[in-house]
Amino acid sequence: MTSGCFAESKADQHLALRHELLETDAALTLQPNAHLPPDAGADNAATLLRDRLTADGYALLQLDEPLSTADFIAVGKTLGDPMPETDAAVLPYVEHGIMLNLTADAGRTSDASLQPFATNFLTLHTEGSTRPAQRQPRLIVLMCCEPGDGTAARTVVVPMAAVRRRLSPDDAALLARVRYRAADPPPPLLRTVDGAPVFSFRDFHTAPLEWELSGDPADGDEVGPALRRLLAAMYHPAEARAVEWRRGMLLAVDNHRFFHGRTAGDGRVPEIPRHLKRLRLLGG
């Protein structure tokens, strides 16, 4: 097993692409792909979400009003098993041990534990990428209770299949042999599940990424360049879409089919913070 460390440099192509996507907020708006008849109820919402997730890898649904917390959790449970929220930093925002209130009231911060509540951008990533595969969520479900004022950010989604198409066969084969270096190792950065490419990867931004490579150690020199090309493919603007949050909007994303992230707000602590509710689900 060969190991090494990756860190981005000022010459990397993805820096300008990331700035354009997440700080300039240049992505096209993601359009709803599910439509619920009036008074259709939470059960029908769950069916619609499941159908669109199967077909498209995401489901974006506009409701007349946000679901109650109980109904939101019930919808989530029809899609998968909710994961407990155990990080001490987020526990004040957690209800019923599984639902996280994402309230963007922290301004800009470099504290990683507070970034979900901040207005700075969140780099593209797959949820739980540092965990073993069986402990990574399959679905992320978000519901908008308050879209916020003009400082509010947008959620960005990028299809994994499009990222894979931008990689050469050699880069894809190499990344299938690379994983984070950890005591409880996660899956390779790229693997195939049911015939489709699945990434387990986060843009670490300015933090170092400790990696390990199986197979021929001579290929270790190629890991850094391959990671740079992966990051550039992730931030390519062609297939990126952003959610324009509105009250009552519900988004479910397949963590095996999409990267996700968040654009930056304008840096002020908002007068009206954006408020989303989140569930992370196993299975699905």
Q: Return d(Cα 132, Cα 129) in angstroms, integer.
A: 8
What CATH number is attached to the domain comprising 276? 3.60.130.10
Which tens digits make up the pLDDT trace of 238-249?
Answer: 999 999 999 999
Q: 3-state SS of the chain: helix, strand, coil percent to 5?
A: 30, 25, 45
3-state DSSP call for residue 31?
coil
Tokens 């407990």 correspond to what residue?
A: 84
What range does the domain containing 148 cover? Answer: 2-282
User: Parallel, antiparallel, or unpaired for β 81-82 and 58-62?
Assistant: unpaired
Q: What is the pTM for the complete model shown?
A: 0.93
| Confidence at residue 127, expressed as pLDDT on a 0 to 100 scale | 96
Strand partners, 175: none
| Confidence at residue 192, expressed as pLDDT on a 0 to 100 scale | 97
| Cα 185 versus chain centre, distance | 20
Evaluate whether 106 touches 114 at the Cβ level (below 8 Å). Answer: yes
Structure letter (DSSP) for residue 34: B
The enclosing H or E element of 23 equals none
Residue 41 backbone class (left: φ over 0; alpha: ψ -120 to 50; beta: rest): left
| Confidence at residue 111, expressed as pLDDT on a 0 to 100 scale | 58
Q: Return d(Cα 225, Cα 135) in angstroms, integer.
A: 29
| Confidence at residue 69, expressed as pLDDT on a 0 to 100 scale | 95
**pLDDT beneath 70: ranges in the chain:** 38, 40, 105-119, 150-151, 266-270, 284
Tokens 């978000």 correspond to what residue?
A: 142
| Confidence at residue 116, expressed as pLDDT on a 0 to 100 scale | 67
Mean pLDDT of the chain: 91
Helices (H), the chain: 13-18, 42-56, 69-79, 160-165, 169-175, 223-234
Residue 140: Cβ within 10 Å count: 22
DSSP for 152-196 reads: ---EEEEEHHHHHHTS-HHHHHHHTTEEE--SS----SEEEETTE
Number of domains comprising the chain: 1
Which tens digits make up the pLDDT trace of 177-230?
Answer: 999 999 899 999 999 999 999 999 999 999 999 999 999 999 999 999 999 999
